[in-house]
Amino acid sequence: MLYALHELAYVSAQPWRLGAQAARQFWTSPFNPLSQTAIGRTAYASAELFESVTRRYGKPDWGLEVVTVNGKPVRTVQQVVWQSPWVKLVRFARHVGDLKRAGKPSSAPSVLIVAPLSGHYATLLRGTVEAFIQDHDVYVTDWENARQVPVLEGRFDFYDYVDYVREMLGQIGPRAHVVAVCQPGPPVLAAAAVMAAENDPNRPASMTFMGSPIDARLSPTVTNELAEQKPFAWFSSNMIHTVPLPYPGVGRRVYPGFVQLYSFMSMNEERHRDAHHEYFRHLVAGDGDGVEKHEQFYDEYLAVLDLTEEFYLQTIDLVFQKYALAKGELEHRGRPVDLSAISDIGLCTVEGEKDDISGVGQTQAAHGLCPNVPEDQRLLYVQPGVGHYGVFNGRRFREEIYPRVTDFIAKNEQLVSARPKTAA
């Protein structure tokens, strides 16, 4: 019912949005003598603000057709190299001639960036991907919005996620490197353990976890405390809703993206309110830079996707209530997930000092859980002065975190290359 009411509210506001668009055109028309007056600018800003907070935000574009490498433009082409109804494996293929002009080799370590499936699209990692393109052959998991997947396609749960990570590593080929940002930490670590236990030739050469809840018992945040305080039945009863028409996934039970968005925004209500007040002021003043910065952030932040009921509830149960992986109690397809089986896969953990989503300690717990990773294949790093998003985006990420991670990957790439092929 909530989902249907949400859609009804959106449709009901359509006439008002059309009116706001008309007002925006009227007050910016060069033929309107009041367009550059205080009254005109204020009226325009009011219409623009109303339209921006009531419209539907679709999946953003990657916008990485050209990236700068060593100060030179390098063209990229997005290639879907494998897909299922739930996810596409996207490769950002770099133009060989452009790389040569930029002084970079055409061959580079393959890196699978596993984007979080937690309410936002994979494009949230645009800055992450742009950085890794500098030195790697980059692949990204582009997860599908559950409301777009027909019910006939079946279920998608936590264990399917593990299988898909394994499948995508297999598609890339032997000994690629995997980078898990936030939510994917536990299923990616589980996939690596399963592959290591089976001596899978496509097991990763290294794994990097950034702001991931590997052990959510440590340094609990507001998000962790909510998961602990509420019984499992509460999440099932209050957070799961049915996809309405006209979406292809009509009838599917999901955790709607707009519910998570409202939850996150309520946690920082004052900050978001102040941001929109500043946006209004920038519109009135004609400050294009301020307007563009606000719109770039919120065009991404307000674009959300739905998660399947089974995936969301299993994540709550296994990661945030039972701590199954951290306790050594996780099973996958009837077999225990043995983290001690990981012995030739590098392990890097990156945390933010001010992370209020995955507290300091939750990600680096992976080091204690993987006792057989050689010491020379480990990196534990805590970035001072950044919160959750600063771990994988922004200036500190580009200047301080990424160089450490790429050096770690390069080191493990050399170690793998130096081993006899029978051992790899």
Provide the 3-class DSSP secondary structure of residue 21: helix
According to DSSP, residue 95 is labeled: P
In whole angstroms, what separates CA 260 from the centre of its chain?
Answer: 14
How far is the C-alpha of 210 from the C-alpha of 349, rounded, in Å?
6
371 preceded by a cis bond (ω within 30 of 0):
no
Instruction: Assess if residue 161 is contained within a domain.
Output: yes
According to DSSP, residue 145 is labeled: P
How far is the C-alpha of 77 from the C-alpha of 224, rounded, in Å?
39
How many other C-beta atoms are found inside a 10 Å radius of the C-beta of residue 40? 18
Domain boundary (258, 278, 301) is at 301
Q: Are residues 136 and 279 in the same domain?
A: no
Q: Where are the alpha helices (DSSP H) in 96-255?
A: 96-101, 126-133, 158-172, 185-197, 222-229, 232-238
Q: Are residues 336 and 398 in the same domain?
A: yes
pLDDT digits (tens, 9 = 90+) for 97-145: 999 999 999 899 999 999 999 999 999 999 999 999 999 999 999 999 9
Q: Are residues 79 and 21 in the same domain?
A: no
Which residue in 110, 80, 106 sits closest to 94, CA to CA?
106
Output 228 or 336, whichever has higher pLDDT: 336
pLDDT digits (tens, 9 = 90+) for 214-268: 999 999 998 898 888 899 999 999 999 999 999 999 999 999 999 988 877 876 7
Please give the average per-residue pLDDT across 323-348, as a whole number.
97
* Number of domains within the chain: 2
Domain boundary (260, 286, 301) is at 301
Q: How confident is the model at residue 17 (pLDDT cuts 50, 70, 90)?
A: confident
What angle in degrees, to the nearest 10, is found between the helix axes of 185-197 and 158-172? 60
Q: Are residues 45 and 162 in the same domain?
A: no
Q: Which has the minimum average pLDDT: 207-221, 331-345, 409-423?
A: 409-423
Q: Are residues 115 and 136 in the same domain?
A: yes
Q: Are residues 205 and 290 in the same domain?
A: no
Contacts of 277 (CB under 8 A, 6+ apart): none
Q: Are residues 82 and 168 in the same domain?
A: yes
Q: Are residues 75 and 158 in the same domain?
A: yes
Instruction: Assess if residue 403 is contained within a domain.
Output: yes
Which residue in 288, 284, 280, 279 sits closest to 39, CA to CA?
284
Q: Are residues 130 and 18 in the same domain?
A: no
Instruction: Assess if residue 72 is contained within a domain.
Output: yes
Output 79 or 424, whichever has higher pLDDT: 79
Q: Which domain holds residue 280?
A: 2-56+270-301
Instruction: Assess if residue 167 is contained within a domain.
Output: yes
Q: Which phi and psi angles does 294 have, rounded to 5°? A: -65, -45
Gyration radius (Cα) of the chain, Å: 23
CATH of the domain at 110: 3.40.50.1820
Q: Are residues 347 and 289 in the same domain?
A: no
Instruction: Assess if residue 242 is contained within a domain.
Output: no
Q: Which has the minimum average pLDDT: 146-155, 232-241, 288-297, 397-406?
A: 288-297
Which residue in 351, 319, 127 sits closest to 227, CA to CA?
319
Q: Which has the minimum average pLDDT: 21-30, 354-363, 400-409?
A: 21-30
Q: Are residues 50 and 106 in the same domain?
A: no
424 pLDDT exceeds 60? no
Both tokens of 223, joined, read 């998000």
pLDDT value of position 359: 96
Q: Are residues 197 and 318 in the same domain?
A: yes
